[in-house]
Chain A
Amino acid sequence: EDQVTQSPEALRLQEGESSSLNCSYTVSGLRGLFWYRQDPGKGPEFLFTLYSAGEEKEKERLKATLTKKESFLHITAPKPEDSATYLCAVRSNYGQNFVFGPGTRLSVLP
């Protein structure tokens, strides 16, 4: 059974304080790993897709990396507008759809 866990559950950072969010996964053949951002009261918004170990993608202050067992979302010099819940999801070669992790709730204080 495909499983996704995320840590930490919640993270509070000062503005400018860089950190990383973790997504650990167990799948029967990874077809893709997806990162989403979710603001309160809204639907998830797509950030990145990673397909193979060693792959990296960047967007503004965010950088996503992938290994065979986990993915990291690195946040460099975060700003208060980066505050949101970050969701990780996987799609396996045999699964019917995405499997989502519970998310990491990030708060960036000014």
Chain B
Amino acid sequence: NAGVTQTPKFQVLKTGQSMTLQCAQDMNHEYMSWYRQDPGMGLRLIHYSVGAGITDQGEVPNGYNVSRSTTEDFPLRLLSAAPSQTSVYFCASSYQGDTEAFFGQGTRLTVV
């Protein structure tokens, strides 16, 4: 049972480039979320989805885009990378919105 799988684990981008962070879960969870983690600030919610075809913004959505075409996949797109988006990104899934979340291993992104 793989749980939540994120790719890539590391990425370096130049300012202005775009890319997609991949997230897949095999637990048939309806809820999926993307967080970013910065030193001293905790995990902050970027976007989330309560099911296929439904997405909504979190606390820090600017510069990011998401879609949810299947229950399993929830990719995060950086439209035009900026140095302020240098961070560690985590994808999470949960059975319901108020049950425990299962996290992926993270993607460490550096924008130069």
Enumerate chain A interface residues (CB-CB to B < 8 A): 4, 31-32, 34, 41-46, 49, 87, 89, 91, 96-98, 100-103
Contact = CB atoms under 8 A, between A and B. Distances in A.
Interface residues of B, number: 24
Is chain B's binding surface mostly helix, strand, loop or mixed? Answer: strand
Contact of A34 (B35, B40, B44, B100): B100
A42 B56 CA distance: 26
A91 B98 contact: yes
Contacts, number: 53
Interface string B88-112: 0010100001111111111000000
Contacts of A32: 98
A34 B103 CA distance: 14
B97 A43 contact: no
